[in-house]
Amino acid sequence: MYPSASLVSEQHRNKIIVSVIFKIKEHGSVGNKDDRIILKRFPSDIFNQDNLVQQQIYVTEVTAVMPLVDYHPDVNHMECVEQFNQKSPTFDSTQYQPEELVYRAYETDESVGCEHYICGCLQQCPECLNFYGCRQCHNDSESHLMNRKQVQNLKCRFCDAVVPYSESCANCKQKFCEVSCKICKFMCFIDANEKPFYHCDKCGTCNVGLENSYTHCEDCNACWWTDQLDSHVCCKNRAEKCCVCLGNIKDSIYQIHDMRCGHTMHYNCWSQLLDQNNYFCPVCKKYSLDDNQIEQMTQYFLNYVKDKTRSNIPVRVHCNECQFAFDFFKQDIYFCHKCKKFNTEELQVEGDTNKSEEYIKSLGEELVAYVEWNKQLIIEHSMRLFKLDKKETQELTKALTKKVLKGLILQIQFDGFPATYEEMLAILFKLK
């Protein structure tokens, strides 16, 4: 599965993460290791400084993968997971008994290699002739980049013999890797259970994933999920550097995350941004999330602003998603009614309560557009605050016409929400 650290000296050891796929005994507990029946174990990752915080978090997690009846131990784990996800995209583990499920947990262990790969050899750079654990180790230490495709010689970590490129040592016969690419000189013991890969001649490199699930896009010169090919953001001039760490994109050992805005970053850099609650592209400030994630955030913020009061200080607001600029009253967060998103920021404070009547009226148009789209918020707040019955709710809904809303929203901005339902009705009657 992977070589034991006891076979090499300390300098050739690394700390790794091992996936444990298991089911539990009848009436057993997921948290009790004695109740686990191991179905499969395989190496998943190597602890390294770039991802250490995330790794320390997820290595403690135990997750339900799929129903036991859908798991096939003879199939590579990732292929089995992908087949199940396509079959049941809305899988809900709470609908099953614990013993009816397959779980994934993690263990830590020591093996052989560097902080980037589990590998039994060092590679010699064809330019400087120095040996390094991998091209990433070389590039982090030297002033030049290692041309991995021209690597010809290896040094065995087990016996120190220098041998021509191969998957095992010609001297001591120890395996160097479980999987490899003779073109890219990629070598590792993390196999298709965790990271299936294929070499794409058009990309000129190896890609992580099941080859039959990807199609190469000729326009942006990259491989995409076949199901997403027609809808992907085609980056004809994809940047060569990550917009977060400025590291190389195409020759990186990390997966690539292409954002909706067209900018690109390493997947692990994106994950670190998410861990910091940063959901935006560092270049253009648009969301770095997919459509479903953006919708979830929008709903979250809609609930957040329900009970928030606003000041009577007008401000200029800019939407980072659609570039629309509008005026609103100062608050914590702003909703763009043009693109229906909350990715906005204040440009500057335009004035105070002494603003002209004409300005306030024009500002009211923006407020009405906001409230009309989300009219239900006022109704829900009124129902909760005034404890309205069904008939009263229907009357309020009917009374909130466009004309009334225009005046009501300004009244709320300056004087606050009515304290009683009778006060609300009086305001509506006056505005009618």
The pLDDT, as a whole number, for residue 104 is 97
Residue that the structure tokens 């990550």 belong to: 242
pLDDT at 50: 77
Distances (CA, A) of 199 to 60, 186, 212, 350: 33, 10, 12, 57
More confident site: 40 or 306: 40
Q: Please report which confidence band the pLDDT of residue 25 belongs to, taking 50, 70 and 90 as the band edges.
A: very high
Element (H, E) at 177: none
* Least confidently predicted of 159-173, 294-308, 331-345: 294-308
Residue pair 132/105 in contact (Cβ under 8 Å)? The answer is no
> Is pLDDT of 383 > 90?
no
Residue 342 sits at φ, ψ, to 5 deg, of -105, 15
Q: Please give the pLDDT value at position 352.
A: 46
Mean pLDDT of 35-54: 90
Range ranked top by mean pLDDT from 13-27, 240-254, 315-329, 390-404: 13-27
Mean pLDDT, residues 143-147 taken together: 92
Tell me the HSE value of 23 on the side-chain side, using a 13 A CA sphere. 18
- Please tell me which of 52-56, 186-190, 311-315, 336-340 the model is most confident about, judged by mean pLDDT: 186-190
CA distance 81 to 71: 8
* pLDDT for residue 157: 98
Tokens of 142: 């030297």
Please check the confidence at residue 363 and state whether its pLDDT lies above 60: no
pLDDT of residue 375: 65
Q: pLDDT at residue 367 above 60?
A: no
Name the residue ranges covered by the structural domains of the chain.
1-191, 196-229, 238-283, 294-356, 375-431
CATH class of 238-283: alpha beta
pLDDT tens digits, one per residue of 161-201: 999 999 999 999 999 999 999 999 999 999 999 999 999 99
Q: Pick from 167, 132, 169, 171: which is nearest to 148 by CA?
A: 132
| Distance from C-alpha of 39 to C-alpha of 105, rounded to nearest angstrom | 12
For tokens 């401000």, name the residue: 315
Residue positions counted in the chain: 432
Question: Rounded to whole angstroms, how far apart are CA atoms 267 and 195?
Answer: 14
Mean of pLDDT values over 269-278 = 87
Mean pLDDT, residues 40-65: 89
Question: How much is the pTM?
Answer: 0.67
Mean of pLDDT values over 92-115: 95
Kind and range of the H or E element at 352?
none
Tens digits of residue pLDDT in 194-236 = 999 999 998 888 888 888 888 998 887 888 888 878 877 777 6
Q: Taking residues 16-21, report their average pLDDT.
A: 96
Within its chain, how far is the Cα of 365 from the centroid?
Answer: 37
Cα–Cα distance list, 124 to 48, 96, 147, 154, 358 (Å): 22, 52, 10, 6, 74
Query: Which pLDDT belongs to residue 102?
Result: 97
Higher per-residue confidence, 351 vs 54:
54
Identify the pLDDT of residue 328: 74
Average pLDDT over residues 267-286: 88
Average pLDDT for residues 384-398, to the nearest whole number? 80
Q: Is the pLDDT of residue 64 over 90?
A: yes
Q: Quick one: pLDDT band at residue 353, thresholds 50, 70, 90?
A: very low
Question: Which stretch of 101-105, 149-153, 241-245 has the lowest confidence by average pLDDT?
Answer: 241-245
Q: Flag the least confident range among 166-175, 240-249, 395-404.
A: 395-404
Give how far Cα 382 sits from Cα of 304, 394, 419, Å: 16, 12, 10
Q: Residue 9 has what pLDDT?
A: 96
pLDDT value at 373 more than 60 = no
Alpha-carbon 54 to chain mean position: 12
CA distance 415 to 276: 37
For the cut 80, the answer to whether the pLDDT of residue 156 exceeds it is yes
Rounded mean pLDDT of the chain? 84
- Give CA angle at 228 (224, 232), nearest 5°: 80
